[in-house]
Copies of this chain bind each other. A is one copy, B any other.
C-alpha cells in the first residue's frame, strides 16, 4: 500500500498515482457528545478541501478521523472508492500535521527530519533540502529547542517533504507563520497538488490553498440524544 513513486529521490520530481479519497455521512462522537454528523466529501488527485467552521465545530476532530486517529461513529471513508478497513495501511498514504508539532527539542533540526524519514522508510532523501525549502537551511544543525514558535512549526511542516505521501491532512498550518513562510507553504502545497497529491486543510483566515473546495463543518447542529438516554 506504499504509494508508488515514479521517480528518484529529488522531491520535486515525484508524482503520485491517480487516487481519490472520500467520506460519506461521517459522524463523530466525543465524550458522549455528537460533534458532527452527515458530513460528506470527496477529493481526488490534485484537489484540495478547505475545512471551515467556528471554533469547536469539529475541524480537528474531522482531520483526525480522516487519519484514523479518532474513530468515526457513523459513515464511511473510502480510498479509490473502496471502503477503508485497514487504517494501518491507510496511514502509510497520508501525512498528518496537527496542533502538536512532534519536534524533539534535544535533536537538531536535521536529526528531527532524519528520524521522520527513517520512520516512514524512505530512501535517503536529502533532509537539508527540505529544511531549506522552509527557510530552516541555516538552522539545520541547531538543536530544535532554540527555535521560536514559528520556526518550530515550520520544522513540523518540513515533515511533509522528507517522506512523500499522496494525502496531506493539515490542521491550521498557517498558525504562527510569518508572511514569507506562508508563501513558501502555499508553494509547497501547490507543488504537491501539481504532482497529483491531495490536501485537506483546516484554517481560519489565512488561505494557503488556491481553488480549495470549501467544506463547512460547523453547519450541522448537535444532537444530544444517544442510545444511552433510552436506557435507565
Contacts and interface: CB of A to CB of B under 8 A. Distances in A.
Interface of A: 31, 53-58, 60, 99, 137-139, 141-142, 146-151, 153-154, 172, 174-182, 204-206, 223-225, 228-229, 232
Secondary structure dominating the interface of A: loop
Contact of A178 (B55, B149, B206, B228): B55
Nearest to A218: B178
Closest 8 CB pairs of A and B: A55-B150, A138-B224, A56-B148, A54-B178, A55-B178, A56-B151, A55-B151, A178-B204
Given A146-B31, A151-B56, A176 B179 contact: no
A115 to B, nearest CB: 21
Contacts of A57: 148
**Which of A53, A54, A175 is the most central at the interface, judged by chain B CB atoms within 10 Å of its CB?**
A54
How many copies of the chain does the oligomer comprise? 2
**Which of A147, A153, A175, A180 is the most central at the interface, judged by chain B CB atoms within 10 Å of its CB?**
A175
Contacts of A181: 54-55
Contacts of A54: 150, 178, 180-181
B154 A55 contact: yes
A57 B148 CA distance: 8
A175 B175 CA distance: 6
Contact of A172 (B141, B176, B205): B176
B56 A147 contact: yes
B223 A138 contact: yes
Contacts of A177: 55, 204
A174 B205 CA distance: 10
A99 B204 contact: no
23 contacts: A54-B150, A54-B181, A55-B149, A55-B150, A55-B151, A55-B154, A55-B176, A55-B178, A56-B147, A56-B151, A60-B148, A99-B149, A137-B224, A138-B223, A138-B225, A138-B229, A139-B224, A141-B232, A142-B228, A150-B204, A179-B204, A182-B205, A205-B206
